Amino acid sequence: NAGVTQTPKFRVLKTGQSMTLLCAQDMNHEYMYWYRQDPGMGLRLIHYSVGEGTTAKGEVPDGYNVSRLKKQNFLLGLESAAPSQTSVYFCASKSSLNEKLFFGSGTQLSVL
């Protein structure tokens, strides 16, 4: 099993550009999450999903959209990137059968 895979690992955007971050998990997990982490800070929850076709807002949802069309994938979209969205983005997933969150290795995004 690959676990939780995030694509891409690095990306540089110009202000106003759009992009989509992909999170894929091969563990058949029901729950999926997107977090962001700014330098020296803890993780902040952006959006999450408790199952295919469902999404919900976390702590800092503004400027982001998400979709969960397939159970194994959770997409995070930035429609018009801003420098304040420069951050490391982590995806996580969890089974309904236990308590552990499994995290991906992160996507480093810079918005110039």
CA-to-CA dists, residue 104 to 15, 32, 72, 77, angstroms = 26, 11, 13, 17
Choosing from 1, 2, 97, 99, the residue that interacts with another protein (CB under 8 A) is 99
Candidates 64, 24, 43, 63; CA nearest to 55 is 64
Nearer to another protein, 35 or 64 (CB): 35
Q: Which two tokens stand for residue 75?
A: 């997409």
Question: CB-based burial of residue 98 (10 Å sphere; 0-12 exposed, 13-18 middle, 19+ buried)?
Answer: exposed
Choosing from 18, 83, 100, 110, the residue that interacts with another protein (CB under 8 A) is 100
- Write the binding mask 58 to 97 for another protein: x where contact by CB under 8 A, - elsewhere: xx----------------------------x-x-x-x---
Q: Which stretch binds another protein (CB under 8 A): 7-15, 19-27, 42-50, 70-78?
A: 42-50
Q: Is 11 in the site for another protein (CB under 8 A)?
A: no
Nearer to another protein, 33 or 64 (CB): 33
Choosing from 42, 62, 69, 97, the residue that interacts with another protein (CB under 8 A) is 42
Whether the Cβ atoms of residue 24 and residue 4 lie closer than 8 Å to each other = yes
